[in-house]
Each structure stands twice: as C-alpha cells, then as structure tokens.
Structure 1
Amino acid sequence: MTKTITVWFLVFTACFFSACSNSSSAPASAPEKDAVAKSAIEERLITELSPSSDRAGKERNAIINRAIDQNYDVYAAPEGYFYEILDPGEFTPLLTGDIVSAHYQGLFLDGTEFDNSRKRGAPLQFTVGGLIEAWNLALLRAKPGGSIRILSPSALAYGAEGLVGTRGDTLVPAHTVLEFVIDDIQVYEE
C-alpha cells in the first residue's frame, strides 16, 4: 500500500509541475513576440528590394537578403548602405574630421571574416571622413561608446579595385558587398 501511494504521489507531482510549467504564458509568448518582430523586420525590408537587375540592384537585394536571413534590424540610408545601431552610445554623434579609435570586424555576406581588429590586438585609429565612403557616412550616425553594423554595396566600399594587401594578396575582391560591425568607438580630444 505504501509503495502504491508513493508511486501515485510521484505521478501526481510530475503531472502537477508539468501542468504548471505549461500554463505560464510568459515563456510561450516570448518566442511568438520574437517571431512577430522578425516578421515585421522582414516585411519592412522586403519593401526595400530593388526591381533592377543591374549590379547596384543585385547588391542591394543581396544586402536585404543577408539582413533578413540574419534577422538584422537594418535601415536603408539614402546613399545606398544599410545600417543598424547596435548600441546608441553617449553624447553627440561623430562629426567629419573627428579623430577616432574603434574595433571592427569585416565580413563578406556569406559570414566569412576578412578582417578583425580584435584579432590584431589593437583598435583602428582614423579620422572620420578618411575611410571608405560607407564608414564615412555611417559613422556620422554613431556616438562614442556605441556600436553600429554597416552593410555596404561595393560602390561605397572597395569598388572595382577591391582591396589588395601589402604583399599583393587580394583581401577583398572587386565589386564585393561587405558587412562591418564597428564598436568600442572612442573620440580623441584634439
């Protein structure tokens, strides 16, 4: 009899806790909310697709497809690049001519990394306005301490020349669409 009561108690306890854990609406709604947010991002980005089949249109569509596939909440800039503010940072946005240091990661659209300042052990130091056009434009949306993702068509990156290393090796082929994540942005006082 005691053995039967113990078994029934264990079955009841397991069923009770199982029912209680399934009745909570918070965990079930979180994935649904993420799905709703993802769907809204996807719907917004689909409206940005280009009907053009020229290089610029193909590159724009490749950027949008990457953003949808990775669930990036990017926005189209009028100049043609896409950006996502990952961390807003503080104070006022950067200005052309600001002397800045930042860490960055450079990726091809398939996710392959071609450059990473953290792996080299030092941030890049530069003047806003003295880099590829996508960075020059997008960094004006960034603030010190913040981080930004940039998806750039080739015309605003390394264009028809691509990027060749100091040893003559091709780091970025010609007409390549790129993704950058720039973070730990610091402005130097002049």
Structure 2
Amino acid sequence: MKKFLLAVCISGIAISANAQTKAVAKKPVAKKTIATSKTLPGTIALKSGLDSTSYAFGTSMGTSLKSTGLSTLNYEALLKGLKDAFAGGKVALTQQQAQQCINDAITRASAVKTMAENEANKIKFAPMIKEGQEFLEENKKRAGVQTTASGLQYEVLTAGTGVKPTATDSVLVHYKGTLLNGKQFDSSYDRGEPISFPLNRVIPGWTEGVQLMPAGSKYKFFIPYHLAYGERGAGADIPPYSALIFEVELLKVNGK
C-alpha cells in the first residue's frame, strides 16, 4: 500500500513537472519567482516547498484511498501513524496487524461501494430487467419450453442418447449466444471449431443446463440474468442484467 501511494504521488509530481517544462519550451517567457506562501481558505498556509510537498502527498494519498470506497478516516491517528513511521521508533501495530486492518477496511468499503453501484445500475437498467422478466414469463408458456426451479428455461432441439455430464466433467460443445433482441455476441460455429471446458467454470445457467443434456443433444437455453453475467454484464457486448439465449450442441463428455 505504501509503495502504491508513493508511486501515485511521484507519478503525479513527474507529470506536473513535465507539463511545466513543455509550457516553458513552447512559449519562452521571463522566469517568474514562484510565491513561497499560499494560503488555502480555512485549511493551511503553505509557506515553503516542504509544506507544499507534504500537502501534495496528503491529497494524493487521500484521493487513492477514497477511490477504494473509503469515506473517512481518523485523521489524527493517520497523522500519528505517519509521524511514527518517519521517526523509525516503536509503532502501535505490527506490520501484520497494520496490513490486516488495511485489508479489512478496504474489503468493507469495497462491498459498500459495490452495493451502491449495483443499486444504481438496477435503476439505470430497470427497462432491461423488465424486458428480460417479461420475455421469460411469456416464453415459458410456449409448447416444448421447460423451466427449472432456478428459473432456467430450455427447449430440446435434438435429443441425444449419450451420457449426461456432471458439474465436474469437461465437455466439448458447439454453441451460439444472442441477446433477446437477436444480436449475436459469440459463436463457436463462426470460429469453425467447438470448444472444450469444465462445466464448473462457466456461468451458472450453463453449469445447470448442460448437465441436462445427453451427449449428441442440441438444446436451446433461455437464461435469466442472475444465472448469466448478472449485475456486471460481460465486456461491451453483454450489458448488465441481460437475459441471454444460447443454442448448445453437446458433442462429447470428456470426463473429469
């Protein structure tokens, strides 16, 4: 953490210095004396280069820590920790204890931040969530479509007679994936070769659905967002909260 914050600050200082150098080279002007005293209303007077550097380190550290989701700290304790570290004497926490405190705080802050982002996304993508729910509600009424307890829907296009895989098996499949609007985002058919993967390392809808398939089958899966890529989506092609449609052909169960 210390190395990271130091790197951020040094990088910022280097960029700033480089920008100033370019500005001087671009338009030569008479060298001006930089004021050594700058008072920020209600905060602190920066009376020397050391003051400015110290303040710069503080703002750099604060910005970096805030980006993790932390909203506040005990600033007196923070300052005390800095002083103790520079003094090189006895500190209140061992390195292991300090690292554990940092890890716990960032984990909690990150969880809160993620929850807030998810709630904001639910509002932003409410129309997409509604579209998926309405589609699945109507789709399950179609003849031939079956719905599992989890909400996964599937349709048998070709019934195979081979062995069914388990969650720990690796399988060889051909597949095509589309959004509800028909936009294709992936296809092994287009790449000209099937793909092999372990069933316990894909989205939940695949893990559950492919286990229903005897080898030689071809199924069509209608996967609600919580069994697909969830609140995050995947890359630029699969937005958050997307319900997905896959056509999957199980060519072979490779084994565990």
Matched, 1:173 2:244: no
- Runs (4+) of structure 1 exceeding 4 A deviation are 53-58
Counterpart of 2:177 (choices 73, 97, 106) is 106
Distance 1:90 1:101 in 2: 16
2:36 corresponds in structure 1 to none
**CA 1:79–1:56 in 2, change beyond 3 Å: closer, same or farther?**
farther
Q: State the aligned residue count.
A: 131
Unpaired segments of 5 or more residues in structure 2?
1-125
SS in 2 for 1:115: strand
Unpaired segments of 5 or more residues in structure 1?
1-52, 165-169
SS in 1 for 2:200: coil
Matched, 1:83 2:83: no
| Pair member with larger Rg | 2
Q: Deviations over 1:73-92 (max 9, x none)?
A: 21111001101122221133
Distance 2:226 2:185 in 1: 18
Q: TM-score, normalising length from structure 1?
A: 0.61
Q: Which has the higher helix share?
A: 2
SS in 2 for 1:129: helix
1:35 corresponds in structure 2 to none
- The equivalences for 1:11-26 within 5 A come to none
Superposed displacement of residue 63, structure 1: 2.1
Give the CA RMSD over aligned residues.
Answer: 2.4
Q: Which has the higher strand share?
A: 1
**CA 1:150–1:123 in 2, change beyond 3 Å: closer, same or farther?**
same
Q: Deviations over 1:151-170 (max 9, x none)?
A: 01111000111111xxxxx1
Counterpart of 1:158 (choices 210, 229, 249) is 229
Q: TM-score, normalising length from structure 2?
A: 0.47
Superposed displacement of residue 118, structure 1: 0.8
Question: Higher relative contact order by CA 8 Å / sep ≥ 6: 1 or 2?
Answer: 1
